[in-house]
Amino acid sequence: MPHILGYARVSTDDQDLAGQRQRLESVGAFRIFEDVISGKTFERPGLAELLHYIRPGDTLAVVRLDRLGRSLRELLDVVETLKKQGVALLSLEEKIDTSSAAGELVFHVFGAIAQFERRLIAERTRDGMTAARAKGRKPGRPPLDQEKLNAAMLLMKAGIPPTKAARQIGLGRSTLYREIQANSKA
């Protein structure tokens, strides 16, 4: 008997899978596979387990297409794998159901539009950086203020958490964590 199987993914431990679980259960998901991992990596144990578990006639349900993959190529690869296994894809947010020819067409059109949008953004960014250079500006991240970094490191040695130290000194939290990680490797 065919089943609806759910896949839920969040990028960090700070995020909650409960909302995705609830929506997948509301459409009758028999079992939900989960990952807490960035979309940047395509090695997702939960998705791999789901693809191994799923059977012909089943439907894979996701809340949004971006839970399956960040790029059009990733999404198309997953959908092609599902198609070869005789499995349909159901995306709740985009209202896509690839069990029909029309649903499959809509999926490919949405995917192509998303890819087009990403390329337009990249082109605009490159154009903006070229224009900034032409005006004598240096686009990109400003150079790290070593004095601020040293002050933040001293605060952390005094027992202040990195996030609070970064805020007090006026450094970005991610900048401080990046530097901590770089210094630990050195």
Instruction: Look up 91 and say whether it is catalytic.
Output: no
Helix H, strand E, coil C: the string for the chain is: CCCEEEEEEECCCCCCCHHHHHHHHHCCEEEEEEEECCCCCCCCHHHHHHHHHCCCCCEEEECCHHHCCCCHHHHHHHHHHHHHCCCEEEECCCCEECCCHHHHHHHHHHHHHHHHHHHHHHHHHHHHHHHHHHCCCCCCCCCCCHHHHHHHHHHHHCCCCHHHHHHHHCCCHHHHHHHHHHHHHC
Last residue of one domain, picked from the residues 112, 131, 156: 112
Instruction: Give mean pLDDT, residues 82-91.
Output: 91
Whether residue 100 is found in the same domain as residue 8: yes
Whether residue 23 is found in the same domain as residue 98: yes
Could you tell me the strand order of the sheet in which 59-62 lies?
29-36, 4-10, 59-62, 88-91, 96-97
Domain range holding 73?
Answer: 4-112
Decide if pLDDT at 99 tops 90: no
Decide if pLDDT at 48 tops 80: yes
Instruction: Give mean pLDDT, residues 137-158.
Output: 88
What pLDDT is attached to residue 186? 65
Decide if pLDDT at 150 tops 80: yes
| Active-site annotation holder among 11, 38, 99, 100 | 11
Report if residue 127 sits inside a domain: no
Whether residue 105 is found in the same domain as residue 42: yes
Whether residue 105 is found in the same domain as residue 21: yes
What pLDDT is attached to residue 63? 95
